[in-house]
Amino acid sequence: MTGKTYDHATLKALIDEEPANAGKSDADVLAWLKEPVSTYGRAQVSDLVQYLAESGIWAAMAASDNATVKGVFAELSYLTTQPMLETIDVRSSRFDQAMNAIVAAGIATTKQKSDVEGLAPTNTKPRHAAISGRCVLGDVIYARSL
């Protein structure tokens, strides 16, 4: 009997996204669905600016002659003036490129780059949490039969 607490077609799509699931038993797929996965939140802009200021990175960016660093500094400075922007995705590829440029210019270390990424909270939840409701073996069997 299925739980019928969510769309089984969506559950099937989630299961089918992982090619290795094709050869797994229903019980193994259920275990895979219940495995914890990490999701990352967004960092508070105020926390980011505080870290950059306290670590000396902010002042070093402001004083830099490097055009890329000046661009990163200008963009971060602009973000701090936007009252509606309270958070920033410090794990985005664009932000990662900006931090890599700062590290390459010798303004920040890779440890400091990692510290900045750590400003965003990490949450752990089961893989199936993307689908509302609990997931039981009957749901997996039904979804895979679709």
Per-residue pLDDT tens over the stretch 31-55: 888 888 777 778 999 999 999 999 9
In a shared domain, residues 63 and 113: yes
Lowest mean pLDDT among 64-68, 77-81, 100-104, 114-118: 77-81
Distance separating alpha carbons of residues 54 and 18, to the nearest angstrom: 43
Total structural domains within the chain? 2
Q: Residue 71: inside a domain, yes or no?
A: yes
Amino acid 130: pLDDT: 61
- Phi and psi, residue 74, nearest 5°: -60, -40
Mean pLDDT, the chain, rounded, equals: 86
* Domain span including residue 110: 43-120
Answer whether residue 57 is part of any domain: yes
Query: Whole-angstrom Cα distance, residue 36 to residue 6?
Result: 20
Q: Using one digit for the tens of pLDDT, what is the confidence trace for 120-141?
A: 887 777 777 666 567 888 889 9
**Is 33 found in the same domain as 101?**
no
Do 97 and 141 have their domain in common? Answer: no
Is 136 a domain residue? yes
Same domain, 53 and 108: yes
Same domain, 116 and 55: yes
Q: Is the pTM of this model over 0.85?
A: no
DSSP per residue over 7-58, as a string? -HHHHHHHHHTSGGGGGS-HHHHHHHHHSEEEEE--EEHHHHHHHHHHTTHH
pLDDT at residue 81 greater than cutoff 80 = yes
111 and 85 belong to one structural domain: yes
69: in domain: yes
Residues 59 and 111 in one domain: yes
C-alpha span between 89 and 43 (Å, rounded): 6
In a domain, residue 18? The reply is yes
